[in-house]
Amino acid sequence: MKTRLIFLVMLIVCFSCGTNNKPVSDAQKVKMIGEVKEVINTIIKGAEESNLDLAMSAWQNTPDFIYINNGKIYSYQEVRDGFKDMFNSLQNQEGTFKTEKYSVLDNSTVLYTTNSKWLMNFKDGRVLLQEPWIVQFVFQKIDNEWKVISSIESGTEKIIKPGETPKELNQIELHKQFIGYWKSEVAKDTTCFWDVKSYGTGFESYFKYVAIGKIVMEGKLLWGYDKNLDKFNMSEMIKGMDNMFYSSWFISKNKCAMFSLNDISNPDMASTKWEVEFKSPDTFVQTTIVNNKSVKVDTFKRIK
C-alpha cells in the first residue's frame, strides 16, 4: 500500500512539473504577452502620473519579492516606503522606450526588459534625467493575475535642473552654524569630538572617536560650496578607511539634509541619509536614517 501511495505522489509531482514545463504554443505566447502588456501599460501610467498605488498595483507583496536598483537590494516594503517619498516629491514623469522585449519562460512566467529614458519633474523645480535606464520585470501568473515578483532597475542619472531653494536659505551662512568644537556621547563609553573651522566659502574639520581614553577612529572633513547646485560637497578621509563623499543642504533655517554624493540626484531613494536639526546655537541632533527608518540619534553639544 505504501509503495502505491509513494508512486501516486511521484506521479502527481512529475505531472505538475511536466505541465509547467510543457512547451508553450505560439498562440499561447501571443495571449500571455498581450495580457502582460496591459499590466505594463498600467505600471507606466502610474509612474508617469506619480500615482504610487497604480504604479505598484501589480507588484506582489511577499517576503520573497526582490527589487534591485543600481546594486542596492530592497524588500517590497522598503521599496514602497522609498517610492512613497519620491512620488510625493514628484510632479510627473515622462518615459520613452527605445526597446522592449517580452520573453515567455513557461506557461506562467514572462520576463519583460526595456531600455528606456525617464525625465523626472519634481515639485521643487528639480529635473532629473535617467538615460539609459534599464528596467526588467519578472511576471508570474498568480490567482489568474499577472504579478511582478522581482524587478531590476539600473542606469545613469544626472540633474538637468537643480531644485529651487527658497531665497531666504543662504546655504553658506546657514552652514556656519556647524563652526565650533562639538561633543557627543555616541555609544556606551564612546565619545565623538568634532572640530569645525571656517575655510574660504567652506569648512575644514577634524573628528575623533574616543573609547575609554583611547582614539578608536579619527579623520578629516573638507566642505566646499557648489554654486551651481547651491549645496555643499564634502570629502571625508578616515584613517585606515576609504574616502567618502557627501552633499549637504539646509531645507529650513535649522534643518540640514546630508546624503552620499551618489544619491543627491535622487535623494528620496537614498538607502542611507542623515538629518541634522539645530535645537539651539549650541545643540544639534543628528538622525541616521537607513531605508527610510531612523536607526540612530546623536546629540551634539558645543563645548567651545
Chain segment 131-146, per-residue pLDDT in tens? 999 999 999 999 999 9
Question: 209 with 217: CB under 8 angstroms?
Answer: yes
Q: Would you state the cell numbers that stand for residue 7, as one nine-digit string?
A: 508512486
Question: 165 with 81: CB under 8 angstroms?
Answer: no
Note the pTM of the prediction, 2 decimals: 0.66
The per-residue pLDDT string of the chain (304 residues; one tens digit each, 9 = 90 and over) reads 444 434 433 433 443 444 456 789 999 999 999 999 999 999 999 999 999 999 999 999 999 999 998 888 889 998 998 898 889 989 999 999 999 999 999 999 999 999 999 999 998 888 999 999 999 999 999 999 999 999 999 999 888 887 766 667 999 999 999 999 999 999 999 999 999 999 988 999 999 999 999 999 999 999 999 988 889 999 999 999 989 999 999 989 999 999 998 887 777 778 899 999 999 999 999 999 987 788 999 999 999 7
| Domains of the chain by start residue, with CATH | 24-161 (3.10.450.50), 171-302 (2.40.128.20)
Residue that the C-alpha cell 545643540 belongs to: 283
pLDDT for res 161? 82
pLDDT for res 1? 42
- Nearest residue to 193 via CA among 201, 202, 183: 183
Q: How do beta strands 244-250 and 145-161 pair?
A: unpaired
Buried b (16+ CB within 10 A) or exposed e, 19-38: eeeeebeeeeeeebeeebee
